Amino acid sequence: MLDGFPGTVHMQVMTTDTVPRHPEKAHRADNPSPRKPAWIRVKAPTSRGYGETHRIIREHGLHTVCEEAGCPNIGECWTHKHATVMILGDVCTRACAFCNVATGKPGAVNPHEPDGLAETVQKLGLRHVVITSVDRDDLEDGGADQFARCIQRIRDTSSGTTIEVLTPDFRHKQGALEQVVEARPDVFNHNLETVPRLYPGIRPGARYYHSLRLLDQAKQLDASLFTKSGIMVGLGESRIEVLQVMDDLRSANVDFLTIGQYLQPTKKHAAVDRFVAPEEFEDYKEIGRAKGFLVVASSPLTRSSYHADRDFAALRQARQELLARS
């Protein structure tokens, strides 16, 4: 789903909650987390901007994937009043091996959530907002109606704000994708998360080719819509497998690819196979651009919505330049 990517002096992604966030993982053997290299470590959030963003989000009772997934970039992003809002609650019906969002039985959908989100966008003065959600397999539409309502309320109150949605896979939810696309977000994002070989252990509730079809169908429904997807590396995938994922995404006409380092949320989550060197990320970036992606964000700390506002401007400019050459 999400951004699937997943302080002390350096931000720690490992968590030690007293109430289990992942009861389904409790019986698993521990996977010790290797020491992070210097290029992974970030400073703890202490700025005034971070505090203000935190206050506004709490004031409106919203959840963010920045907190729930233990994102290492939260200090930088919240300092600049950038946050990825997570709608439909903070409990997920899936149990992905990489994700720190709590698993369990979700509560009722909050009918006032779109209003609170729209007010938050106004107060933060966002030029670009990213809306994501937990998986809601318990809902008939998978949460599509709430996505559409959130998009519409932001359009009503902040007409100049561009909107990016990072959706679940809407598996077995007939018409859900169509409802979200009809609401006219500027960017439709759905993460493949990893290579197909690793799906059974890393993303067992999902299917690689279903997610790929979702992205392809979104573009078919609205050719003007920017589409985006991301994967994590460091889970045991090979270089050849990453390049094949790139080819699969380009076959679905996906415009924007993100690649970031997998970081292990707890000892019960999937182990880090290795820390990928920054030079390898640069190599993936160059290959991705050569394969035809309009924008490729590839670095150890890249996450789906990291620098999303800046990247959206680059995405729009790249399309304009492409059209000018054709």
The tens digit of pLDDT for each residue in 247-259 reads 999 999 999 999 9
Q: Are 17 and 268 in contact (CB under 8 A)?
A: no
Choose the weakest-confidence range: 11-20, 161-170, 189-198, 228-237. 11-20
> Between 107 and 56, where is the model more confident?
107
Strand partners, 298: 259
pLDDT of residue 27: 79
| pLDDT for residue 70 is more than 70 | no
| pLDDT for residue 13 is more than 50 | no
Mean residue pLDDT of the chain comes to 87
Choose the weakest-confidence range: 60-74, 79-93, 220-234. 60-74
| pLDDT for residue 5 is more than 50 | no
Q: Are 303 and 326 in contact (CB under 8 A)?
A: no
pLDDT of residue 190: 98
Q: How confident is the model at residue 56 (pLDDT cuts 50, 70, 90)?
A: low
> Between 60 and 30, where is the model more confident?
30
Q: Mean of the pLDDT values across residues 296-325?
A: 90
| pLDDT for residue 132 is more than 60 | yes
pLDDT of residue 9: 28
Q: How confident is the model at residue 82 (pLDDT cuts 50, 70, 90)?
A: low
Q: Mean of the pLDDT values across residues 73-85?
A: 64
| pLDDT for residue 213 is more than 60 | yes
59-62 contacts at long range (C-beta below 8 A, 24 or more positions apart): 60/116, 60/117, 60/119, 60/120, 61/110, 61/116, 62/86, 62/113, 62/116, 62/117, 62/120
pLDDT of residue 73: 57
pLDDT of residue 7: 31
Helices 48-59 + 113-124 axis angle, to 10: 160
Q: Mean of the pLDDT values across residues 100-113?
A: 93
In order of 15, 22, 26, 263, the CA distances from 18 in angstroms are 10, 11, 12, 21
pLDDT of residue 233: 98
> Between 70 and 320, where is the model more confident?
320
Choose the weakest-confidence range: 18-22, 74-78, 86-90. 74-78
pLDDT in tens, 268-290: 999 999 999 999 999 999 999 99
Choose the weakest-confidence range: 34-38, 59-63, 180-184, 198-202. 59-63
Choose the weakest-confidence range: 39-43, 109-113, 172-176. 39-43
Share of the chain above pLDDT 70, in %: 82
